[in-house]
Chains A and B, each alone.
Chain A
Amino acid sequence: MSGFSRREFLLASGALVVAVSTPAPAALLAADGALVSGALPAPGELDSWLAILPDGSVQACFGKMDMGHALEVSIAQIVAEELDVAVSQVALVMGDTMTTCNQGGASGSTGIALGAKPLRNAAAEARRLLLQAAARSLSADVGELEVREGVVSIRGRSTASVTYAALIGGQRFNAPVEWNKATGNGMDIKVQATPKHPSQYRLVGTSVPRRDVAGKVFGTRDFVTDIRLPGLLHARMIRPPKAGQTIAHVDEASVAALPGVRVVHEQELLAVVAEHEWTAVQAARALAVTWADSTPPTRWPGHEQLHARLRAAPALKREVTLNHGDVEAVFATATRVIEAEYDWPLQSHASMGPACAVADVRADQATVWTGSQKPHAVRDGVAKLLALPPERVRAVWVMGPGSYGRNDAGDAAMDAAWLSGRLGHPVRVQGTRWEGTAWDPKGPACAHRARAALDASGNVIAYDFTARGLSRVGVMFHEADPRDTLTGMALGMPLNSDLGLGAPAESYGFAAKRLAWEVVAPLQERYSPLRTSHLRDPLGPEVHFGSEQFIDELAAAAHQDPVEFRLRYLTAPRDLAVVRAAAERAGWTPHAGPRRERGPGDVLKGRGISFAQRSDTTVAVIAEVEVSPSTGRIWARRFVVAHDCGLVINPRGLTQTIEGNIVQGLSRTLFEEVHFDAEQVLSVDWASYPILELADAPETVDVVLINPTQAPPSGAGEPTMRCVPAAVANAFYDATGVRLRRAPFTAARVKAALKTHA
């Protein structure tokens, strides 16, 4: 290595302020000081995954990113474990497309489950090669060597030693590894070394503190919003105020009084750009645009009529994901048939701040700083947008103002790149609160139907659940093609709508059982604020709100305890274990039907359980709620979570990740619904799209971590969330005897439900 640090490199290249200051392997950086190296890291080379720096520290290159779930430190623990160095000796580069392979970014709670695999293999292989070199250096057999914190010595003779730094510090390994040719989440490498057995772990499984916290608490760490470049221009996008409207006329004179404002307009893409940010904000407000209605005018059903529309609309796609036994024949023999419908609203990512991106597009290269959780997709999308080869585009992930799936970050990155290319200046785009809430891709609304057949003894003999809703991929869940962004839609690129939903993930062993999903048409095809895509735990809360409440309804119909009922029908051992563990920790008292326990004043208290799988993770959640019939308030005061995501890497980080799932899931359950009328989104800010605040936070989230060290890690960023809505609904039923089959459970809706059943 030349001793060329990353910061020096970037200073030389003219990017004066960047968020990351840690050095990257020299092999991955362009020696000529260009911003873009012109070569993508090759997964088939060990040097693409890690390097030993001259000071003996380890640089690991991770193609995913830590959104605040202790993923960075967890990966460092795994790398340190395999290399036998201290965790503090390992630094990660994350989400920079010039220095990390395309591991798919943050995606599907796979950061550890899939993302750690190649890093673990690379670290084991590096250790193997380092021990070979050490054996030569010390004139010893590899079998005689031991490693402590990067110092290799002959066992029993600690004076005869050599450090990793002395062996290779700053130089390339120049060693091939066998890439499985997968790109994205599935990317992995095979190596000659055998990684450690979990029984040998010293670092994995311990609560090493996160390293990203201090920068956030002292304000010393940059967010994407803080990236500044020389000559930077500030842009604001102008979106149509009403459904389907297009630009008829732009009166540029309306902003002529504002200093240095430029209007950029091509087809339906419209932006104002200024040297100062506040000027850009003022210009966006002042710009006079004449809008034209589409022909015929686009009309949405409004949020109150949305679910009727979802039920009535023809299914554009139906997929049966499970079908065993002759479901219809068994229904014909039923003593009793239970049926229910469950409605879930459109929801917004409503990230803490609207998305921001900074782009510096030059004649033959582009750099984009983005908060998107898929920077490699941003790279590919920008390359297509600007007709550049992917290796001439560098996307650098910098923490954005929240990231819970395909939010507005992908649109901002593409807008910034397009504007920078057009203007020949670096451009920073930031949305308004209106764009962050009203214009982000939405989590799909659903209207599920469920039915079950019971025999004379109350046994479930047939079960039939159909999830139905707007597509989870109305726009693609990443921005690898600009047509999947507002930028591409505004520029008239062909639409790329896909049809997908999901079915419940569980192991109930009903003799005859059918699980299916159906997708209906979007509310508006092109350039729509109500387009749907992935919102954290896509289809998890949406579907299991219905399916796990329906299981509870069946238990009640069969006069059985909800926990006993689940234990009776669940078949997977790990599913049974989490349900038992949650019930035990909660001190669950078996009961059939609602208990309507009285609390202080008019308060009614109840408990409910919910359970679900996600990939190979399985979770059971018990909610304890207090309901005030007079105010309609539900306070979910305590949660118990039993969580099995395989081998646990960092218990504290995992526990706090689970807590965040509970709270965000509770917010979605109690408060969140995108309101809209025939032509406008009415949820535009925090007043019109309220989320949970501190007053409604639970007092306790009691987490039981089941840690089956023999099972590989399977992900924790999302699974708990899917259990929350039904757990709260089932607890509400226990408290009141009333079912809440439409979310969110706002105070008005609670009061109305209790009044109807009074």
Chain B
Amino acid sequence: MPTVRFQLDGAPVSVDVAPDTPLLYVLREQLGLSNPHFGCGLAQCGACTVHLDGEPLRACVAPAASVEGHAVTTLRGLGSPEHPHPVQQAWLEEQVPQCGYCVNGWLMTAAALLKHQPKATDAELRQGLAGLKCRCGTHLSILRAIKRAQLMINGGAST
């Protein structure tokens, strides 16, 4: 079975896996990560999102071979309780999640969006985060949290 090598949250990994195996299963089963999550397997919900070289990737449909030689970042690599990413800090302060299963997708996608558009308007956020699902309906908290994260990133009022 071929070996796929890539950077995972900053450390090199190599996995023996059929090249067309979706990255999600490699991360969860071979590499033992609990994030990302399986939501649909169809790139329709975002629960499986990771970063590939800093850009959002739906791991449920990305073949493992496609990340060969690239850098994959998961929620674990985005930040930690000791060093949270601003979106994680904001999500925490706004107490966003209900069930929490979708959170991975929102955090990973929002972190990338704010990197490109740190001052995204309300309309740009609503458009830029299309394609992410939250079944519990925490959307108002999500918008509040992103605006809080923008304040942190843009050097506004500290929290």
Residues of A within 8 A of B (CB): 67-70, 209-210, 212-223, 225-226, 228, 276-278, 281, 350-354, 399-404, 430, 432-433, 652-653, 656, 659-667, 685-687, 691-695, 697-701
Contacts and interface: CB of A to CB of B under 8 A. Distances in A.
Contact of A68 (B91, B98, B131, B133): B98
Contacts of A351: 135
B142 interface: yes
B38 A218 contact: no
Contacts of A222: 34
Interface stretch (B51-59, B102-110, B151-159): B102-110
Contact of A221 (B100, B107, B142): B100
B141 A399 contact: no
B48 to A, nearest CB: 10
A661 B101 contact: no
Given A213-B91, A400-B99, A686-B45, 18 more contacts: A67-B99, A210-B95, A213-B97, A218-B75, A218-B84, A218-B88, A220-B81, A221-B100, A276-B25, A352-B136, A401-B39, A660-B98, A660-B137, A663-B138, A663-B139, A664-B135, A686-B40, A699-B122
B117 interface: no
Given A216-B97, A353-B37, A660-B136, A686 B76 contact: no
Interface in B121-138: 122, 125-127, 129-138
B28 A277 contact: yes
Nearest to A657: B98
Given A693-B131, A694-B130, A432 B136 contact: no
Interface in B13-68: 18, 21-22, 25, 28-29, 32, 34-35, 37-42, 44-45, 47
A351 B38 CA distance: 12
5 contacts: A216-B103, A219-B75, A278-B22, A401-B99, A660-B138
B80 interface: yes
Interface string B1-23: 00000000000000000100110
Contacts of A354: 38
A433 B95 contact: no
Interface centre among B18, B81, B97, B136 (most CB of A within 10 A): B136
A68 B136 contact: yes
Nearest to A697: B139
Contacts of A220: 81
A665 B138 CA distance: 12
A656 B143 CA distance: 13
A699 B123 CA distance: 11
A367 to B, nearest CB: 20
Contact of A209 (B45, B95, B130, B131): B95
A401 B143 contact: no
Contact of B41 (A215, A401, A432, A693): A432
Contact of A659 (B40, B135, B137): B137
A692 B139 contact: yes
The 6 A-B pairs of least Cβ separation, nearest first, read A68-B98, A663-B137, A216-B100, A697-B139, A219-B35, A664-B137
B44 A68 contact: no
Interface of B: 18, 21-22, 25, 28-29, 32, 34-35, 37-42, 44-45, 47, 74-76, 79-81, 84, 88, 91-92, 95-104, 107, 122, 125-127, 129-143
A629 B116 CA distance: 35
Contacts, number: 176
Nearest to A663: B137
B82 to A, nearest CB: 10
Contact of A401 (B22, B101, B126, B139): B101
A321 B122 CA distance: 47
Interface centre among A67, A217, A281, A662 (most CB of B within 10 A): A217
B137 A667 contact: yes
Contacts of B28: 277
Contact of A218 (B44, B80, B131): B80
Contacts of A691: 133, 135
B81 A67 contact: no
A687 B44 contact: yes
B42 A685 contact: yes
Given A663-B139, A694-B143, A352 B38 contact: no
Contacts of B122: 699
A213 B98 CA distance: 8
A222 to B, nearest CB: 6
B96 A213 contact: yes
A281 B61 CA distance: 13
B130 A353 contact: no
Contacts of A698: 140
Given A214-B81, A352-B39, A697-B139, A69 B133 contact: no
A433 B126 CA distance: 25
Given A210-B95, A214-B81, A217-B107, A685 B40 contact: yes
Nearest to A687: B44
Interface centre among B74, B97, B125, B143 (most CB of A within 10 A): B97
A665 B137 CA distance: 9
A67 B141 CA distance: 16
Contact of B126 (A661, A662, A687, A694): A694
A702 B22 CA distance: 43
B132 A693 contact: yes
Nearest to B43: A686
Contact of B104 (A219, A278, A433): A219
A187 B55 CA distance: 51
Interface centre among B38, B74, B84, B91 (most CB of A within 10 A): B38
Nearest to B89: A217
Nearest to B21: A278
Contact of B39 (A67, A281, A353): A353
Contacts of A686: 40, 42, 44-45, 133
A655 to B, nearest CB: 10
A666 B37 CA distance: 26
Nearest to A227: B34
Contacts of B96: 213, 217
Nearest to B28: A277
A291 B75 CA distance: 43
B99 A225 contact: no
A689 to B, nearest CB: 10
Given A219-B104, A277-B28, A693 B133 contact: yes
A213 B136 CA distance: 14
A353 B137 contact: no
A659 B141 contact: yes
Interface centre among B28, B92, B104, B134 (most CB of A within 10 A): B134
Given A664-B136, A685-B44, A694-B130, A402 B101 contact: yes
Contacts of A699: 122
Contacts of B130: 693-695
A68 B98 CA distance: 4
Contacts of B142: 694
Contacts of A404: 135
Contacts of A665: 137
A217 B22 contact: no
A433 B137 CA distance: 19
A345 to B, nearest CB: 17
Contacts of A432: 41
B100 A68 contact: yes
Contact of B92 (A69, A213, A219): A213
B134 A353 contact: no
A102 B59 CA distance: 39
Contacts of A399: 99-101
